[in-house]
A and B are shown apart, each in its own frame.
Chain A
Amino acid sequence: MDSNSVSCVVEARGLVREFATRGGPLVILRDLDLCVRQGESVCIMGPSGVGKSTLLHILGTLDEPTRGEVSILGRNPFEMTDGDLADFRNTDLGFVFQSHHLLPQCSALENVLVPTLVAPGTGQEKAERARRLLSEVGLSDRADYLPADLSGGERQRVAIARSLVNRPRILLCDEPTGNLDEKTASDVADCFVALQKREQVSLILVTHAPWFARRFDRVLHLKGGTLIPDGKSSAGLFPPGQTP
């Protein structure tokens, strides 16, 4: 990698992802390139089924590309051992899923704490941070609720708090507001942007909502398996001042 790209915390080059189907290989991502800088917020848009989740899963090390290089924080996650990869996910990455995936048996606070179970640090310190995050997403009085007793937006906010509990450097969000009404979605979005700025994480977020996309440093469109910069936005495919 050249010296320029060192500033990319998330970088993808020539990324290809195919799925084997009965009718032959189905190409979802085709020669995709991407670079996201430290502290930058990037929004990815595109029609349903185009491969946004697929891309996010690969960047989140949950899935492997068919071909192409991925470098996250300067490391290739697919060459790490299982243990290293798990630690990497645990400390450096945060993930908010399209469906929130809370453990039904654990309270809101406990759900936030789940990632800390395999992270270093004292219980006291972790619990404090979890509480603070919960109150920042406006759920301090719901800490002991089970997911079944929370509303959809509340669940999503718990998931956001959980994604930040280990102070990740990169946050990946897959339509965090997809299932929510406009008002709640807007609350969640506010909460997101505030936290991202404060924690200085790099954010890659998928959404269908244009009003949400406007709040990002950059907006990219996934089309034909590659990313295309948003015409209206000043920002291009690469952060200002960089060419591949």
Chain B
Amino acid sequence: MKRGFSTTRLVLRSLAHYWRIHLAVASATAVGVAVLAGSLVVGDSVRASLRRLALDRLGRIDRVLTGEAFFRQELTDAFSRACPAILVEGSVVDPNTGTRASRVNVVGVPAAFWTFWDAQAPWTSAGSFDVALNRALADEIEVDAGGEVLVRVQKPSAVSRETLLGRRDDTVATMRFRVARILPDEGAGRFGLVPTQQYPRNVYVPLRVLQRRIEREGRIDTILLPPLASDPQEILNRVATLEDMGLRLTERGGFVSLESDRVFLRRPEIEAAREASRDVASSSSLTLAYVVNAMRAGERAIPYSVVAAAEDAVVEEGHLLLNRWAADDLRAAAGDRVGLTYWVPGADDRLEERTTTLTIAGVLEMSDPLVNDALVPEFPGISDAESLSSWDPPFPIDVDRIRPRDEEYWDEYRAAPKALVSIQTGRSLWANRHGDATSARWREGTSVDDLRRALRARLDPARSGLAFQPVRDAALGASRGASDFGGLFVGFSLFILVSSALLIGILFRLNVDSRAADLGLLGAVGFAPRAIRRLMWMEGGVVAGVGALVGTLGGWAFAAGMVHGLRTWWVGSVGTPFVVLAVSPVSLIGGALGGWLVAMFSVWQTSRRVLRAHPRTLLEGGSASDRLAPGGRRRVAFVVGIASLVLGGATAVASLGASVEKQAILFFATGALGLTGCLAFLSAWLARPSAIRADRLRVTRLGMTGARRRPARSLLVAGLVSCAAFLIVSVGANRRVAGSNGGKQSGTGGFTLLAESALPLYAAIDPSRLEGGRAYRMRLRPGDDASCLNLYRAARPRILGVGDDFIDRGGFAFSGVLDPSPEEKSNPWLLLRRPLPDGAVPAVADYTTAVWLLHSGLGKDIEVDGTRYRLVALLARSVFQSGLMISEENFERLFPEAEGYRSFAIETPRGAGPRVARRLESEFGDYGFDAIEASETLNRLMVVENTYLSIFQSLGGLGLLLGTVGLALALARNLIERQSEFALMRALGFRLRTLVWLAVSENALLLVFGIAAGTVWAVVAVLPPLVARLARPPWIELSVEIAAILLFGLLAAGLCALVVLRLPALRALKRER
């Protein structure tokens, strides 16, 4: 002996001597580590890919300002290397074929835009009629470079179309362009501000051309910024003018007036006006000007006049002041009553005519300062009209009613009000959700410059939407992903992990069992339990360490395989093949460490059990690990078995009528109880004294007693197999098969079509277009797609405002409802109307959206832009993934600036869906109307879910395979251990065939038992939800899968037995010590 004998040396000797079993343990560890580390790397890869994509689509863009309205392009000049842009949604049509793509991003940009990606502008000159399409858009409408396209966008208007002065017609600009180039779907070709891994559909138009075509020359709505040294918001706050915020200060008619492009002043603007008055030592008066169609007194009437409600008009409520001209024309005097007839925007975008009768309080002379054109804000089409009959207001006028004297009034006094009412009266008649004042006025002499400064100081540009968003940071934040793919794949591979952990356990135990006498000897010669444990740990640590090291490389390979899968077979789960392998050492090391620790845990477990045994027991070759106590414990196992099976059956039955959420819990309970019951019975059976009656001795019975000899190991094997079978069958059964399930209580809610338009529609869809169906329109606040189609974290989910008609209609299946009344229980949508005591906004969301993508749940709050939404009900597997749904009333309160209706749920008679969709799409083509069959939307979401399930199934199958290999390995080891026994039997004249059968039957028993228990309980657990959903799982596929696994297991066992038993008998006998 060259060097001293030491504990380390003893460990090394053991490692070398028992290399076979150690190799097996190391392999099992390697597989576990490979899968764990690989899964984490998949997570890294998805995150890194999302990140790469996020940076790719933004180029060097760091911050973006997207205004609510258009502002001066010169604002861009305050920033170095800023790029002005107009970003609007629109639709693109191939004029030759009529093929249309809706919801296209129309990107109006100058050449500077392309420098964010170090690229050249794709068009020849900035003024040309050339555009570029990205590949996704070009493919959708099948247009190539050189072709022509029609691009349609909404003409921007600051004035809400839902007010009297908002334009409802002529809102769409259609432009014809030549396609200069098709950009690949990367870099600038993937430009978009919304985080998604799906391809955006973009058309790039030279900024100047777009500005001209939508009549907004020198105006933009977006500034794109590269990273800047200084805070751009500060610069912006300094340089932004009132005009950029959509306000103007005019001096005319003896007044200085603050007016808004939106016609109505907003609350903060009104407040700023009041406060600014103090700075300039003046006082302001609010005015609400309105056009009335007729003023009537008795038989006489004046058409088309302006009536103003003014704070400084001294008149009581319910009264009005006429100006002299009007009083004369109406031949009316104080005390007479005057009827005012005017339009108000009513439901469905129709104007309703209303009449109010007021009493004349007095007459104002024409020289009165309030009889003044300056009380009426400038309004294109009215205030700039040459004559009254050339008025071009956004509401219908009857030119025939205009008399020559009206034209004379117009010539002389322009829009000066013919009547004045108090501001309160005005508000009660004409205020709407957009505001209740059209101007704030100061007396002449107030310094306009001072006032401008004072107002500007009090108005925060950010509140008018002039705020830079850190899009790059947000994109990087969102690329952490809505769901952690690392975790997801660990979950998918859970079965492999569990298998390898159990396998390590089985193998280690085998190892220890066969060396029990050695351990006993160490105890007998004075090794304290602690010292023996240390030896076992050292040995286990080295073996697991080697396994972990190899597994790390395997993890690399596993991740590469999974990423390949995500790009090919499973691309359905992520939409586009964007995932590339990104290996991070942290994940590899973490996985290796994790796997190693799991292995060490089973070493610890085994050593603990072994050391509990007395050295004498060990010396005699027995190990405590396998001693199941007879009698008492067997009875306990029986009782546990029966109780578990009965309870399992009960939960299965209970789950029949339970809600979806409860069903999920009951499903697991049923499975767990069922399997526990089966395994308890098995354990009782294994513990039964194996008294073989001589008269009934048969070879198979001998095999069964073999299973009994190592009851703990047998139980472990059966447990492993049954869990695997349970998972495979239940996951497989949960696969959704596309069906024509379109009932009102289904995921489609009974709707046949879902539509969305790029531009808001104001009018209701004419029912005659729907073949007797009905359309429910919804308001939409665009945001991040929070459906499973988007992998990015949705920080600002889309918000839909559903109308009363929709709420009253009800429908859809719910997975959970927050403490409903009986009425709300039958129609949970009603909860949207119930105000919540703490002011949170009640919202409904799809279960998947709420739980998986927004990481929230029933009764929990989600905060979006400072507003808290409480999830009062969750839809089960619905078409309404992607966002939150709230009542229209709440929506209008929260988003007064959101215009019209952009989302539609449509009922049609059976089979009419596609026809109606085509009709609506062509009719509202200008609005980018895009209708999809609800069942298809559901299928698309289902594809994602099914793809995830198939990943799970593939990996689960792999795990079971591994388990089976482990089983064969354990069998081989067991046979080697018992070689002398078999050699003896051969010496006694048993045939080889008989012995192989003997060896296989012992394991076949466990395999068949495990698979049967797992399958039966999976079916029992999965049936109630399936019955409830009327789904039909792929039974045949599943049966084949299970049969294949069983066959593989038996073959592996048989082959293994054959190989071992063929070894020469003498060698086996000599192995006896």
Contacts from A to B (Cβ < 8 Å): 22, 57, 60, 62-64, 82-83, 85-91, 93, 95, 97, 99-107, 109-110, 113-119, 123-124, 126-127, 143-144, 147, 162, 166
State the Cβ distance, A217 to closest chain B Cβ, in Å. Answer: 25
Q: How many A-B residue pairs have CB under 8 A?
A: 107
Contacts of A22 in B (CB 8 A): 630, 689
Chain A residues whose CB sits within 8 angstroms of the CB of B517 once the complex forms:
101
Given contacts A123-B5, A144-B1, contact A89 B1073 (CB under 8 A): no
Assess the B526–A89 pair: CB atoms within 8 A.
yes
Which chain B residue shows the least CB distance to A166?
B526
Question: Is B13 in the interface zone, CB < 8 Å from A?
Answer: yes
Question: CB distance B13 to A106 under 8 Å?
Answer: yes
The reply to whether the CB of B542 lies closer than 8 angstroms to some CB of chain A is no
Q: B521 interface residue, CB < 8 Å from A? A: yes
CA distance A83 to B611 in the complex (A): 13
Chain A residues with CB below 8 A from B525, complex form: 89-90, 95, 114-115, 162
Do the beta carbons of A95 and B524 come within 8 Å of each other? yes
What are the 9 tightest A-B residue pairs by CB atom distance, in nearest-first order?
Answer: A90-B526, A105-B17, A123-B4, A86-B528, A115-B525, A89-B526, A105-B13, A113-B5, A62-B616
- Asked if B522 is at the interface (CB within 8 A of a chain A CB), the reply is yes
Q: Which residues of A contact B527 (CB under 8 A)?
A: 86, 90, 117-118
Residues of B within 8 A of A109 (CB): 1, 5
* A101 adjacent to B4 (CB under 8 Å): no
CB distance from B280 to the nearest CB of A (A): 93
The answer to whether A107 and B1 touch (CB under 8 A), given A62-B616, A62-B619, A114-B522, is yes
User: Is the CB of B740 closer than 8 A to any CB of chain A?
Assistant: no
Contact B1 A105 (CB under 8 A): no
Minimum Cβ distance to chain B for residue A132 (Å)? 14
Contact yes or no, A127 B528, CB < 8 A: no
Inter-chain contact B17/A89, CB cutoff 8 Å: no
Of all chain B residues, the one with the shortest Cβ separation from A165 is B525
B7 touches A (CB below 8 Å): yes
The smallest C-beta distance from B249 to any residue of chain A, in angstroms, reads 93
Quick check: B528 and A114 within 8 Å, CB to CB? no
Closest to A90 in B: B526
By a CB distance below 8 angstroms, the chain B residues around A113 are 5
Distance to closest chain A CB from B209 (angstroms): 85
Structural contact, A106 and B1073, CB atoms closer than 8 A: no
A106 and B11 alpha carbons, distance in the complex (Å): 10
B924 contacts the other chain (CB 8 A): no
From A110, A118, A144, A162, give the contact of B528 (CB < 8 A).
A118
Which interface class (under 10, 10 to 19, 20 to 34, 35 or more) fits B?
20 to 34
Contact (Cβ within 8 A) B1073 A147 = yes
Contact B4 A106 (CB under 8 A): no
Q: Is B523 an interface residue (CB 8 A)?
A: yes
B14 & A62 in contact (Cβ 8 Å cutoff) = no
B402 at the interface (CB under 8 A from A): no
Cβ of B529 under 8 Å from chain A: yes
Known: A62-B619, A105-B14, A118-B528. A123 touches B6 (CB 8 A): yes
Q: Is B993 an interface residue (CB 8 A)?
A: no
* Nearest-neighbor residue (CB-CB) of A162 within chain B: B525
Contact A110 B524 (CB under 8 A): no
Chain B, 459-514, CB within 8 A of any chain A CB: none
* Contact among A95, A118, A162 with B531 in the assembled complex (CB-CB below 8 Å): A118
Known: A101-B517, A147-B1073. Contact between A89 and B524, CB under 8 A?
yes
A117–B7 CB distance below 8 A: yes
Using Cβ atoms and an 8 Å threshold, which residues of chain A touch B17? Answer: 104-105
Chain A CB within 10 A, most for which of B1, B517, B524, B689:
B524
CB atoms of A117 and B1 under 8 A apart: no
Would A83 and B528 count as touching, CB distance under 8 A? yes
Whether B764 sits at the interface, judged by CB under 8 Å, is: no
A124–B1 Cα gap in the complex (Å)? 11
Distance of A60 Cα from B6 Cα, bound (Å): 25
Q: What 17 new A-B contacts, CB under 8 Å, besides A97-B521, A101-B521, A123-B4?
A: A22-B689, A62-B615, A82-B529, A83-B530, A86-B529, A86-B531, A97-B619, A103-B14, A105-B17, A106-B10, A114-B522, A115-B525, A117-B7, A123-B6, A124-B4, A127-B5, A144-B1
Contacts of B6 in A (CB 8 A): 117, 123
Asked if B267 CB lies within 8 Å of chain A CBs, one says: no
Q: With A105-B14, A107-B1, A117-B7 in contact, do A86 and B526 touch (Cβ < 8 Å)? A: yes
CB-CB under 8 A from A124, the residues of chain B are 4
Distance of A123 Cα from B1073 Cα, bound (Å): 29
| B13 interface neighbour in A89, A110, A116, A143, Cβ under 8 Å | A110
CB closest residue in chain A, given B13:
A105
Interface string of B2-44 (1 = CB under 8 A from A): 0011110110011011100000000000000000000000000
Q: Is B406 an interface residue (CB 8 A)?
A: no
Chain B contacts of A110 at CB under 8 A? 1, 5, 9-10, 13
Q: From A64, A87, A104, A123, give the contact of B526 (CB < 8 A).
A: A87
Q: Which residues of A contact B1 (CB under 8 A)?
A: 107, 109-110, 127, 143-144
Interface assignment of B614: CB less than 8 Å from any CB of chain A: yes
- In the complex, chain A residues whose CB is within 8 Å of the CB of B861: none
Q: Which residue of A lies closest to B621 (CB)?
A: A99
When A60-B524, A86-B528, A90-B525 are in contact, do A114 and B10 touch as well, CB less than 8 Å?
yes
User: Within the complex, what minimum Cβ distance (angstroms) separates A172 from chain B?
Assistant: 10
B518 at the interface (CB under 8 A from A): yes
Residues of A contacting B619 in the complex (Cβ-Cβ under 8 angstroms) = 62, 97, 101
- Give the shortest distance, in Å, between A117 (CB) and chain B (any CB): 5
Which chain B residue has the least Cβ–Cβ distance from A152? B1073
Q: Which residue of B lies closest to A95 (CB)?
A: B524
Residue of B nearest to A97 (CB): B619
A-B contact pairs, 12 of them (CB 8 A): A60-B524, A82-B529, A86-B527, A101-B517, A101-B619, A105-B14, A106-B10, A106-B13, A115-B526, A117-B10, A118-B527, A162-B525
Among residues 576 to 634 in chain B, which have CB atoms less than 8 Å away from a CB atom of chain A?
A: 614-616, 619, 630
Contacts of A116 in B (CB 8 A): 5
Residue of B nearest to A103 (CB): B518
CA distance A87 to B527 in the complex (A): 8
Residues of B near A103 (CB, < 8 A) are 10, 13-14, 518, 521
**Is B526's CB under 8 angstroms from A127's CB?**
no
Assembly CA distance A103 to B12 (angstroms): 13
In the assembly, what is the distance between CA of A109 and CA of B2, in Å?
12
Chain B 357-376, CB-CB to A under 8 Å as 1, else 0, gives: 00000000000000000000
Q: Are A117 and B616 in contact (CB under 8 A)?
A: no
Give the docked Cα–Cα distance between A97 and B527 (Å). Answer: 17
A115 to B523, CA, bound (A): 10
Of B7, B13, B14, B616, the residue contacting A63 (CB under 8 A) is B616
Task: Give bound CA distance, A166 to B527, whole Å.
Answer: 13
Chain B nearest CB from A72 CB (Å) reads 14
Chain B residues, Cβ within 8 Å of A82: 528-530
Task: List A contacts of B522 (CB < 8 A).
Answer: 114
Complex Cα spacing A114 to B9, Å:
11
Task: Name B527's closest neighbour in chain A (CB-CB).
Answer: A118
For the complex formed, measure the closest distance between the CB of A48 and the CB atoms of chain B, giving whole angstroms.
16
Q: How distant is A127 from chain B, measured CB to nearest CB, in Å?
A: 6
Q: Which residues of B contact A62 (CB under 8 A)?
A: 523-524, 614-616, 619
Distance in angstroms from A19 CB to nearest chain B CB is 12
Also in contact, A57 and B616, with CB within 8 A (given A110-B13, A123-B6): yes
Tell me the bound Cα distance from A170 to B521 in angstroms. 17
Tell me which residues across on chain B come within 8 A of A83, comparing CB atoms: 528, 530
Please give the distance in Å from A45's CB to the nearest CB on chain B: 21
Give the complex CA separation of A118 and B528 in angstroms: 8
Q: Given A127-B5, A143-B1, do A119 and B1073 touch, yes or no (CB 8 Å)?
A: no
Q: Which residue of A lies closest to B12 (CB)?
A: A105
B517, B523, B525, B527, most chain A CB atoms within 10 A: B525
Which residue from chain A places its CB closest to the CB of B17 in the assembled complex? A105
Q: Separation in Å of the B539 CB from the closest CB of chain A?
A: 11
- Smallest CB gap from A86: residue in B: B528
Chain B positions within 8 Å of A114 at CB level? 10, 521-522, 525
Complexed CA–CA distance, A114 and B6 (Å): 8
The answer to whether B13 and A127 have CB atoms under 8 Å apart is no
